[in-house]
Amino acid sequence: MDETDVNDTPTPIAVSELRELRRQVGEIADRLDRALMDDGGRGVVPNTVADDLLLPGQAAKLAKRSERTIRRWVKEYQIGWRCGSGSVLVSRARLLAHLHDSDHHDGRT
């Protein structure tokens, strides 16, 4: 069967990983919802979870850094979350805040 066949049934391992990822994304959504309520009108927190979550490649493009750097920042600066099977989700708000802080500490404006 061709790898691109859309009728392929996911393996049981893939299904369990997807369920775990869905659970973790739900937890992230809950955290973001709480942050929205606690934002205090600063406008730092996005309006929806979908607006905030980025894949490492998207975050790398936005930050003009490598995907490897983004994954390291997720671990070092908590700008995102590690999910099941090595997947990573990045918070756009946290990434932009980190870039802003880095620019000021590096003397950039």
* Amino acid (1-letter code) at residue 7: N
Domain boundaries, the chain: 12-105
* Amino acid (1-letter code) at residue 86: G
pLDDT in tens, 28-69: 777 766 666 665 555 555 556 666 789 899 999 999 999 999
109 Cβ contact partners less than 8 Å away, ≥ 6 residues apart = 103
Query: Does the model's pTM come out above 0.85?
Result: no
Q: Please give, one letter per residue, the 3-state secondary structure of 30-99.
A: HHHHHHHHHCCCCCCCCCCHHHHEECHHHHHHHHCCCHHHHHHHHHHHCCEEECHHHCEEEEHHHHHHHH
Q: Please, what is the end-to-end C-alpha distance for the chain in angstroms? A: 54
Give the pLDDT band of residue 85 (cuts 50, 70, 90). Answer: confident
Report, as an integer, the average pLDDT of 15-33. 76
